[in-house]
Structure 1
Amino acid sequence: MVTGISLEEAVVQMTGPLSPLGTEILPLERTLSRTLAADVAAPLDQPPFDRSPLDGYALRSADLTGANREHPAVLEVVDTVYAGDEARIPVGPGQAVRLMTGAMLPPGCDCVVPQEDTDRGDPVSVFVSLKPFQNYVYQGEDYRKGTLLLEKGTRLDAAALGVLAGAGITEVEVYRRPRVGLLTTGDEVVSPGTPLPAGKIYGSNQMLLAARLAELGVETETAHQGDDPAAVAEAMRELLEICDVLLTTGGVSVGDKDIFHQALPLLGAERIFWRVNLKPGTPAMYSLYEGKPILSLSGNPFAAFTTFELLARPLLAALTGEEGPRWGEGVLDTPFPKASPRRRFIRGRYEHGHITLPEGHSSGMLASLVGCNCLAELPAGSPPAEAGTRVRILLLE
């Protein structure tokens, strides 16, 4: 087991041997936030016919030359077409077809006049002139049949799903998401909703990380165990039977009850590394059990959250074929008063290139994380950071 490695080395150690878990074909309604495993080509033109962008009249622009309110063009109305109807009657000289937004344009027309610029009569008087193909939506204006609609690797958001549905597509091939086991530990932890005995605390890590996994679209199985190594080893075994990845919190430092040093050998897991050169979350440990990853994080809530973002997210991305965490840069608007002998990550709020910091940065403090959307990196050996310092940030997306 390697000890005391860099964040980058840790990520390589975890993700290097991994590959995506495979793909599955799912109906659109189950693919929000999933990642496409194959290109999707348009099966039709969009729109599939020339259509009207507004309520009005389809006609020939040549019939409106010089039209105004004093001298309107007067046209015979030969048909009415609603959205969803087929336009069957062509527009000839001196004629118009009444139609609604989205309706198919009839043959022979080259523009649509808004109904506000007419008297809506029959025959209809038109008070404006139009250019050829004004207010005219062409077949295939959005995209043509056979063109690349969405690329492999696209994360499916509301807009992408709307595009797919509009093309008549009902199912797509996506990368399979890992099922994650989440095991929290500690004799001191009591479930919310029960009386709180002296010396105990309510557990937040399970809710914190399960909710974060849900935000990322990952299915989670949860469990909690006290500080008995054999019981923890058995709980890990049970979760690994039904999950692709196991995350644990607590029990990875050097105290008398840091029981993963005993539990992992009892399980028969191979420990790959322990301790990463960063703060908070230094004691993070990574193991493998029958090829399945086990990432053990600190029990301090913010430390667990930070190392989840820095380590677990790249691990999950390697198993899904998705893009990993996104990094950027910003300028501190708030000073950070402490020196950083070790590489440090602090919570912050990033907006328009600037970062504001909350009060309270202890690894056990969670309340100050509310409203934060980034982790700001302070390099090892940094003095206290002054306002105006440019820093690298990990975006919490």
Structure 2
Amino acid sequence: MKPLLPLEEAQERLIAMATRLPSESVPVAEALGRYLAKDLVAKRSQPAADMSAMDGYAIAFDDRAGPWKLVGECKAGSPPSTPIKPGQTARIFTGALLPQGADTVVMQENVEEDGGLIRLIDEPSPVKGRHVRHKGGDFQAGDVALSVGTTLTAAALGHAVIAGADMLCVGHAPSIAILSTGDELVAPGTDTQPHQIPASNDIMIAAMLAQLPVRTRSISRIRDDMDSLCAALESAKDCDVIVTIGGASVGDHDLVAPAFEKLGGETDFWKIAMKPGKPLMAGKLGKSLVLALPGNPGSAFVTATLFLLPLIRYLAGASTYLPLMQNAISNAPLPATTQRAEFLRANVDGSGITPYNSQDSAKLSILAAANALLYRPARSPEQQPGAKVSYIAI
């Protein structure tokens, strides 16, 4: 019997089959969730000049004893007031440019005004530069504001705008077709017979993809016959990625692999040393990457987390594409594993991580209740409560 492919090797081989998609320029306001395709170099310094971080009075540090004669006012969005001289001050507001001659701001709470004179009452020794945001203190023109592969979050987009960008070069959003197979599948909300089941996997996988920059097409409830499956695969060959759900095993009615081969597809690997998700297949059909996920929802979810989402991130230009592993203390004993890596549906909180007693991959109730996949590498020894383990947040 051919040995199962180790998980890490399968992930590496899947990414090796892929080629990052070309880049495109999009307005900053439309770039949320995309991945930066080249370094963003700041066109301006921030702040562009020394400015106040507080409402107060601008003074020269060497003239810190006071009192000071009030000679001007500095507002945010206005040019600086006239320069100040020794013995003078200017009223200044948060975000306003410091006038020439000033290098320090005294908070308004720490002074009193008396006939146009400003006296210090609660800050007997101002510190030079206090309450001042200095020119280039955040970043300077020419700095790399955001690096290639960065996920463009809301904060990153704000940073891009402050750095002077209005357009961003990002990776293209992959197109993906989701094909769910099985004679037992019926439309959501349909009254079911005992031999039927509502088609949930395509909805679940599409929802997982919705968090990524991707264009999704759903081809649902494909019959378990060769002609129907071949026609569905043919109709999706214009997509960058074709994902099938179900029919990837070796039963008489598991027709994904035979249909794939009939159409001239090239299989790269099939069957992974992992649980759940052993009957995973990957290959190419024309220019499309094909990933065949198992049909049980737990298996489909786990394999999508470990293979499909990383593939989409990679194609779209992410610098980090594999799922983030975190650490926690196990609250339960963990049996030894075999040659297959295991991903246990679990709940993680401040006390640690607890796997569910049942790990049946057909039980969506467990998957819906879980917020983590507890990772047990292949051939792990038995571990007692209190052991440090790795997990993926879901």
| TM-score (structure 2 length as normaliser) | 0.90
Other structure's SS at 1:247 match: strand
- Relative distance call for 1:153 and 1:261 in structure 2 (3 A) is closer
Map of 1:163-202 to 2, 5 A cutoff? 163-202=159-198
Secondary structure at the counterpart of residue 324 of structure 1: coil
Q: Distance in 2 between matches of 1:40 and 1:381?
A: 44
**2:78 counterpart letter in structure 1:** D
Distance 1:247 1:165, change over 3 A: same
Tell whether the 8 Å contact from 2:272 to 2:278 is kept in structure 1 after alignment: yes
1:285 aligns with 2:281: yes
Partners in 1 of 2:390 and 2:57 — Cα distance?
57
Kindly state the Cα deviation for residue 105 of structure 1 after the two structures are TM-superposed.
0.7
Segments ≥4 residues shifted beyond 6 Å: none
- Which residue pairs with 1:212 in the alignment? 208
Alignment CA distance shift 1:379-1:46 (3 Å) = closer
- Residue correspondence of structure 1 range 1-397 to structure 2 within 5 A: 4-65=4-65, 73-120=66-113, 122-127=116-121, 128-129=123-124, 130-224=126-220, 225-241=222-238, 243-322=239-318, 323-325=320-322, 326-336=324-334, 340=338, 342-350=340-348, 354-370=352-368, 372-381=370-379, 385-393=383-391, 395-396=392-393
Separation in structure 2 between the aligned mates of residue 265 and residue 3 of structure 1, nearest angstrom: 22
Distance in 1, Cα, partners of 2:109 & 2:387:
57
Amino acid at match of 1:98: R
The change in CA–CA distance for 1:78 and 1:380 in structure 2 (over 3 A counts) is: closer
Q: Report the CA distance between 1:22 and its aligned residue.
A: 1.6
> Is 2:36–2:170's contact at 8 Å kept on the other side of the alignment?
yes
With structure 1 as the length reference, what TM-score do the two structures score?
Answer: 0.89
1:11–1:132 Cα change, 3 Å: closer
Name the amino acid aligned to 1:201. Answer: I
Q: Deviations over 1:63-91 (max 9, x none)?
A: 432xxxxxxx4432211221101013111
Q: Partners in 1 of 2:317 and 2:195 — Cα distance?
A: 44
Q: What do residues 86-139 of structure 1 show as CA deviations (whole Å, max 9, x unaligned)?
A: 013111122111121101111111211111112355333332331322222211
Tell me, which stretches of 5 or more residues in structure 1 are unaligned?
66-72
CA 1:396 to 1:197, structure 2 compared with 1: closer, same or farther past 3 Å? same
- The verdict on how the C-alpha distance between 1:126 and 1:141 changes in structure 2, with shifts beyond 3 A counting, is same
Q: Percent identity over the alignment?
A: 34
Aligned alpha-carbon RMSD (Å): 2.4
**Mapped contact 1:340–1:378 kept (Cα < 8 A):** no
Distance, in Å, in 1 between the alignment partners of 2:290 and 2:393 is 22
- Partner letter of residue 161 of structure 1? L
| CA deviation string 1:220-252 (max 9, x = no partner) | 1111112222112211221222x2001110111
Deviation at 1:339, TM superposition (A): 6.0
Give the secondary-structure state (helix, strand or coil) at the position aligned to 2:343. strand
